[in-house]
């Protein structure tokens, strides 16, 4: 009985930590895209802000330091968990107080800090799960961690959009998420099972590790600014409004930072990182495998970085619609797809599975193209608006014209005002026309951007 209770305690802790790991991801991804789209930020800027997720890719650079050093009093795993979760709560409060449209720079910095802290939390959670679970429980523990992660994605990537539409306030949503992270930190502090014989850090000089990490960061900074300086010498302006010029500065900065940072790490002696990279590169086909990782999900990465903005700003779906269909239902379909794929892999080898699933994900991305061309549905304004250049706004009834509108009130979301909902009226704001005798419309609307005698899309 005590053994069963201890097992339940360990697995429940892993479930809660999986939830804490998944919660911040959408807050710098899909949820942030929705906030930016509703606030009227342009699509190019939303795309650039997708780069705040870079820390998730490079978390292996500082993971050795989190394994080497430990915060005082709380221990290595529990200490870092409490520190990162409380810091995440503070960063979410910071982000909630910034307007993305008026202060894009500070907003991007706060989002970058959240992504960095979230990636750091993931490092500790992965290490803690390995330390606290016996080998026989790690399979089930991994499944529970992913399940908690997906539940958190439903909350922060789906329900959060519904709350934002109901409350008409994205800052309030982020403050709520900050409160949840405080609760997670409290759980980590008082309720996590202790680690008795956890893994030990690799044998290396701690000061040398710290010096190597500092040298690597310095190399990144010098390489970044050196690349920017070179482009300025070539006549490019870093403050240009041209999005392609801004992209060139970002790509040049990355191209200059990575080689110089790697050289500095090797020169000073960041041994943990150097040995890990050397072990990977020495594997047969390492570079081909790395190229496969980059290219296999490239199309999904491009589509996913702007999916929420496309649905809200381009297709004029409401935040609640995106939250329910694309996030809540979509997450469960993802889980079902993962189970189905696991069953197929029992009959197919790995090579055939990669080819089949790669082809299927390519076909799935054509859904975005179809949605862009066909619109939201019959009579949807997305395609109609492109053909007429008109938009719709609620307005007072002009004295010189007769206006008819849908019997249901307009949506409260400004993004939804950009297209008319499905409605039976055939004419709107027509100075000389009369509505069909079977139509009953009472709420006035004004059409802007087109002639008042034009027909509505109904």
Length, in residues, of the chain:
458
Please say whether the beta carbons of 171 and 96 come within 8 A. Answer: yes
Global pTM exceeds 0.85: no
For tokens 């619609």, the residue is 321
Q: Convert the pLDDT of each residue in 19-55 to its tens digit.
A: 999 899 888 888 888 888 888 888 778 877 877 888 8
Please say whether the beta carbons of 397 and 438 come within 8 A. Answer: no
Domain ranges of the chain: 2-201+283-374, 381-458
Residue 306 and residue 34: Cα distance in Å, rounded?
A: 10
Residue 282's Cβ-count burial label (10 Å; 0-12, 13-18, 19+) is exposed
Please say whether the beta carbons of 426 and 435 come within 8 A. Answer: yes
Q: Which of 383, 379, 382 has its CA nearest to residue 317?
A: 382
The CATH code of the domain at 2-201+283-374 is 1.20.1250.20
Cβ count within 10 A of residue 390: 18
**pLDDT tens digits in sequence order for the chain, 458 residues long:** 345 787 788 889 898 999 999 899 888 888 888 888 888 888 778 877 877 888 888 887 788 778 777 787 777 788 889 999 999 999 999 999 998 888 888 998 999 999 999 999 998 998 888 888 887 777 777 778 888 888 888 888 888 888 888 888 899 999 999 999 999 999 988 888 887 655 565 566 667 777 888 888 888 889 988 988 898 888 888 877 777 888 888 888 888 888 888 888 888 877 777 777 777 788 888 888 888 877 887 777 777 667 777 777 777 777 777 777 766 677 777 777 776 776 777 677 777 888 888 888 888 878 778 887 877 655 444 443 443 343 433 333 333 333 444 444 444 444 433 334 443 333 343 333 344 444 343 334 433 333 333 333 33
Specify which residues 430 forms β-bridges with. Answer: 402
Residue 307 and residue 285: Cα distance in Å, rounded?
A: 34
Please say whether the beta carbons of 17 and 152 come within 8 A. Answer: no
pLDDT score recorded for residue 178: 94
Alpha-carbon dihedral sign for residues 21, 294, 334, 128:
negative
CA angle 263, 266, 271 (to 5 degrees): 150
Q: What is the DSSP string of 393-411?
A: EE-PPPTTSB----SSPPP
Residue 286 and residue 412: Cα distance in Å, rounded?
A: 53
Residue 126 and residue 120: Cα distance in Å, rounded?
A: 10
Q: Long-range contacts of range 239-247, CB-CB < 8 Å, 24 or more positions apart?
A: 243/44, 243/48, 246/48, 247/48
pLDDT score recorded for residue 423: 38
Cβ count within 10 A of residue 251: 11
End-to-end alpha carbon distance in the chain: 67
Cβ count within 10 A of residue 136: 9
DSSP 8-state class, residue 430 = B
Specify which residues 391 forms β-bridges with. Answer: 448
């Amino acid at each position: 009985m005590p053994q069963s209770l201890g097992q339940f305690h360990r697995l429940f802790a892993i479930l809660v930590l999986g939830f804490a790991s998944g919660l911040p991801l959408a807050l710098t991804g899909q949820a942030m895209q929705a906030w930016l789209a509703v606030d009227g930020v342009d699509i190019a800027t939303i795309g650039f802000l997708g780069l705040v997720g870079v820390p998730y890719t490079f978390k292996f650079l500082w993971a050795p330091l989190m394994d080497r050093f430990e915060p005082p009093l709380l221990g290595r795993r529990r200490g870092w968990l409490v520190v990162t979760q409380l810091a995440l709560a503070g960063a979410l409060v910071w982000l909630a107080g910034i307007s993305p449209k008026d202060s894009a720079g500070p907003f991007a910095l706060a989002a970058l800090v959240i992504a960095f802290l979230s990636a750091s939390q993931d490092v500790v959670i992965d290490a803690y799960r390995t330390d606290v679970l016996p080998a026989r429980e790690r399979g089930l523990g991994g499944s529970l961690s992913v399940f908690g992660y997906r539940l958190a994605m439903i909350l922060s990537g789906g329900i959060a959009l519904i709350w934002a539409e109901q409350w008409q306030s994205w800052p309030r949503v982020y403050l709520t998420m900050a409160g949840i992270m405080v609760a997670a930190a409290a759980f980590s502090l008082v309720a996590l099972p202790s680690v008795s014989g956890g893994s030990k850090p690799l044998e290396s000089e701690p000061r040398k590790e710290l010096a190597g990490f500092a040298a690597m960061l310095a190399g990144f900074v010098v390489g970044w600014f050196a690349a920017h300086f070179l482009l300025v010498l070539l006549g490019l302006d870093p403050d240009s409004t041209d999005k392609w010029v801004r992209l060139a500065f970002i790509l040049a900065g990355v191209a200059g930072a990575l080689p110089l940072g790697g050289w500095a790490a090797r020169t000073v002696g960041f041994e943990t990182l150097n040995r890990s990279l050397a072990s990977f590169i020495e594997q047969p086909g390492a570079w081909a495998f790395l190229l496969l990782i980059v290219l296999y999900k490239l199309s999904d990465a491009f589509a996913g970085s702007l999916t929420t903005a496309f649905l809200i700003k381009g297709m004029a779906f409401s935040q609640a619609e995106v939250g329910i269909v694309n996030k809540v239902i979509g997450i469960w379909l993802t889980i079902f797809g993962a189970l189905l794929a696991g069953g197929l892999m029992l009959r197919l080898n790995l090579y055939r599975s990669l080819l089949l699933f790669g082809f299927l994900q390519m076909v799935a991305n054509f859904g975005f193209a179809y949605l862009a061309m066909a619109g939201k549905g019959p009579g949807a304004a997305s395609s109609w608006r492109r053909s007429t250049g008109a938009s719709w706004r609620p307005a007072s009834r002009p004295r010189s014209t007769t206006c008819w509108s849908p019997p249901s009130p307009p949506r409260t979301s400004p993004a939804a005002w950009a297209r008319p909902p499905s409605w039976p009226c055939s004419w709107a704001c027509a100075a000389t026309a009369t509505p069909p005798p079977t139509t009953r419309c009472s709420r006035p609307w004004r059409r802007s951007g087109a002639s008042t005698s034009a027909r509505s899309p109904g």
